[in-house]
Each structure stands twice: as C-alpha cells, then as structure tokens.
Amino acid sequence: MYTCSQCEKVFSSQSGLCNHMNIHTSKYKCSVCGRCFGTSQRLAAHRRSHSGEKLFECTVYSKRFTQSGRLNRHNRVHSGEKPYKCHICNKVFSQSGHNYHMRVHIGDKPYKCSLCNKSFTQSSSLQQHKRQVHGNRRPYECPFCGKLFKTNKNLKRHVRIHTRAKPYPCRHCSGRFTWPDRLKRHLLKSHSEGTWFTCNICQKKFATNDDLKKHLFGHEDVKPYVCSECPKCFYTAHELTSHQQVHSDYKQFCCGLCGKDFKCKYYVKQHFKKCSDKLGFSNVWDSLDAVTV
C-alpha cells in the first residue's frame, strides 16, 4: 500500500504513486481552485468543471459530462464493464478508485466521525455519513411532490418514482430497469450472468451483498437500527425509515381517485384497491397512474 502524503490517495504500486505525485508538483495549476495537473490538456478539461460546459453526452439517456473520461466511466453503468480487479479477493470494480478497497483487507479506517466515532475508509464516506446521519439540512426539493433530501443524488433517485425513468438497459434483451440492483437481479435470473451471494447458514441466494447482509441480521437476531422517537429496533435502515413515518405528520402519498393522503405507500395501495372497487374502477388497480407518489 502506497499512500500520497498530499491527498491520502492510495496506490497498489510505487510507480503508480510516483505518477500520481506529478499532479501535486505540476506547473499546470487551476487558477480557481488551485488543483494541479500533469498536462495542459487535463487542466483544460478540469476548467470545464468550473464553467459548467458539458461537451460529452451519454447516448443512452442524454446525460452530459465535462470530461470524456467521466463519460467513459459513466458508460460502464450501462455496459456492466468492471476492468479493475483486487489482487487479493478478485473483486472487480468499474472505476480505478478501487484502491480504497484495499483498506478493507488491512483494516485501515483513517477517517473518524467526531460525533459518533464511527470510522470510514474514505473521506467521502465520512462526509456522506455526516450529512445523512447527523445533518438536518435538506436543501434538495422534489419538483413533483415537494419532498426534501439531504443530497442531490438521493433527489435524483427519488425523481425516478415520478418520471418512471429506466436508465439501466439489459444488454441481452429489451428489458430496462429503474435501479441498478434490479438490473443485476434480472441478469442473474434471466441470463445467468454474474455471481450469487449465498448465505452460509441456510444457503439462500441473493443478487447483492447488501441483501445478504440484511438477511444475516435475521439469523443473528441483531437489530442495529434504533428509532430515535421510540424504543423500537429494526434489522435494516429501510425498515427504520419506513417506521419513522409513524412519528411524522408528513403525508407524501395520495390516492389518485379520491385525493386522500397517507403516510405510507402500503396504506395508500390498500386504500386505492378498496376505493377503485367502490367507485367501479377495479380494472385500473394495476395502473400505477392511479396512485401518485
């Protein structure tokens, strides 16, 4: 493990670290943020991040980028290409930043939260933890329903509920998916592509490692997610988030037939089925247009 003394980026070889150090000693320096680059071309590409100029466009759903390298990395979302491999566990990655993964093997977590002492392998993970767990500011508002989010990434994910965008296409068939994990499950089940994650206790298989981890909590009877409003505990963060709606007055789900508001999606679906039967619209139960979220 070779770590840069300037920015703490980690490399698996000394030659990789030496090449990286040219960035900090280069004469090509950005006048806006002070970041240095090895060539004038890289500096010119970086300046577009300040000007907002986006010359490179994704052909799948028209997302644009300031640099061709970022477009190439983004395209791996659609192609599924993972050219970078860990030489210890053979886990593959779509981006070269997988060097941070090496800290998993050596147990190095140099970034510690000053509020709860939880440690992280990357500074970006620490910052994200502070925003999502300890931060109260939610500056990103959904233009459809007004729901607020702590990060722009979470807002973009939420907006797909309204737009029904499906940016993840299957390369084997015409299927398209809203979420990458659903594409992964489809590839495993329909095309036998990828690797299942198997529970070593009951041999149940899962498409993602996160799903397996959630499942393992059930065997250990460990509920690490505690509600801040009551003593209830939950196996997963999703279960906790769903439960916390009980303590909130915010009703984000609305019946498209009668306009009645609900806190939880489960209850609005149950209500909508009864409402459609009562009004003689039982044939629209399967239509997602009938329930606004």
Report the pLDDT value the prediction gives residue 285, as an integer from 0 to 100: 42
User: How many angstroms separate the CA atoms of 179 and 160, rounded?
Assistant: 9
B/e letters for 180-192, b = 16+ CB within 10 Å, e = fewer, are eeebbbbbbeeee
Position 50: which residue type? Answer: H
* pLDDT at 199 exceeding the cut of 50: yes
* pLDDT at 290 exceeding the cut of 50: no
Contact 99, 12 (CB under 8 A): yes
Q: What are phi and psi of 274, to 5 degrees?
A: -70, -40
CA nearest to 200, candidates 185, 213, 186: 213
Region 247-251 average pLDDT: 72
> How many other C-beta atoms lie within 10 A of the C-beta of residue 67?
17
* pLDDT at 5 exceeding the cut of 70: yes
Torsion-angle region of residue 254: left (phi > 0), alpha (psi -120 to 50) or beta?
Answer: beta
CATH placement of domain 2-120: 3.30.160.60
Contact 263, 253 (CB under 8 A): yes
* pLDDT at 289 exceeding the cut of 50: no
Give strand ranges (E) for 74-165: 84-85, 92-93, 111-112, 119-120, 140-141, 148-149
List of residues 6+ apart from 96 with CB closer than 8 A: 84
Q: What is 196-250's CATH superfamily? A: Classic Zinc Finger (3.30.160.60)
For residue 130, how many C-alpha atoms fall within 13 Å in the half-sphere facing its CB? 13
Report the pLDDT value the prediction gives residue 274, as an integer from 0 to 100: 80
Choice among 20-29, 194-203, 211-220 with the minimum mean pLDDT: 20-29
> How many other C-beta atoms lie within 10 A of the C-beta of residue 171?
12
* pLDDT at 281 exceeding the cut of 60: no
Choice among 236-240, 276-280, 288-292 with the minimum mean pLDDT: 288-292
Q: What angle do CA 200, 203, 208 make, to 5 degrees?
A: 80
How far, rounded to the nearest angstrom, does the alpha carbon of residue 111 sit from its chain's CA centroid?
A: 20
Region 45-74 average pLDDT: 77
pLDDT in tens, 160-198: 888 888 888 998 999 998 888 888 889 888 998 888 888
Long-range Cβ contacts of 262-266 (<8 Å, 24+ apart): 265/293
pLDDT above 90 covers a percentage of the chain that reads: 1
Report the pLDDT value the prediction gives residue 280, as an integer from 0 to 100: 64
Average predicted confidence (pLDDT) for the chain: 76
Contact 47, 31 (CB under 8 A): no
